[in-house]
Amino acid sequence: ELKVEQNPLFLSMQEGKNYTIYCNYSTTSDRLYWYRQDPGKSLESLFVLLSNGAVKQEGRLMASLDTKARLSTLHITAAVHDLSATYFCAVEGNTPLVFGKGTRLSVIA
Amino acid sequence: EAGVTQSPTHLIKTRGQQATLRCSPISGHTSVYWYQQALGLGLQFLLWYDEGEERNRGNFPPRFSGRQFPNYSSELNVNALELEDSALYLCASSTGQAISEQYFGPGTRLTVT
């Protein structure tokens, strides 16, 4: 059974600082997704990572995938308040998507 | 292009009642997925429909059921509602091809009292 673990689950960071969210998964998968969710809202797709060594960047967020280590990272550069949200990674397994528990990010001044 | 739509936005039901949630996929998408996001339990896969057929089912009791119509829209039915069914129910759609990103709708907030 595919398991997806994210850490940390809660992250409070100061504006302007850098930090990384980690996503580990237990079995081989071809695709990994990162989503953002604002309170009470749906999921917004951030990145789709399809191959080993894939790196994608959008603004202050950069995601990477190491399929050999079964690890993806979401790196936040120079955080701003607008990045406050919950971030989920999700991996395709026997069921369409298995989600991590999410990382609740709070960016404070 | 319109995104995934869901109705209703909010639904309040009493224990034992039935709830029906609806989803319309993005035009051209044939696959519809249902997920439950309950407080403290994270996002869990419920059901996957493609071309009118149920393709996969998550670890939920049979009182969670659904169907997909010829126009690819979908219904999720929850019978004999229990308090723990209170959650945000998210629908997603994709093209159904081997490598196909899922696009999520705004969700239906179900509250069972």
pLDDT value at position A28? 82
State whether residue B50 is helix, strand or coil: strand
Hey, which bits of chain A come out as E strands?
4-7, 10-14, 19-25, 32-37, 43-49, 55-58, 61-66, 71-76, 85-91, 98-99, 103-108
Mean pLDDT per block of 10 residues along chain B (113 residues) reads 92 98 96 92 91 92 97 98 96 80 93 97
pLDDT value at position B98? 61
In this structure, which amino acid lies at residue B20?
Answer: T
A43 to chain B, any CB pair closer than 8 A? The answer is yes
Q: Given CA atoms B91, A71, A50, B48 in this order, what sign does their dihedral have?
A: negative
**Per CB distance under 8 Å, which residues of B are interface residues toward A?**
33, 35, 42-45, 48, 56, 58, 88, 90, 92, 99, 101-107, 109
Nearest CA in chain B to A29: B99
Q: What is the mean pLDDT of residues A79-103?
A: 90
Please determine, for residue A93, whether its predicted confidence score (pLDDT) is greater than 80.
Answer: no
Chain B residues lying within 8 Å of A23, measured CB to CB: none
Chain B residues lying within 8 Å of A96, measured CB to CB: 33, 45, 48, 56, 102
Chain A residues lying within 8 Å of B40, measured CB to CB: none
pLDDT value at position B19? 98
Q: What is the mean pLDDT of residues A21-49?
A: 91
- Cβ atoms < 10 Å from Cβ of B105: 23
Largest CA distance in chain A: 42
pLDDT value at position B97? 67
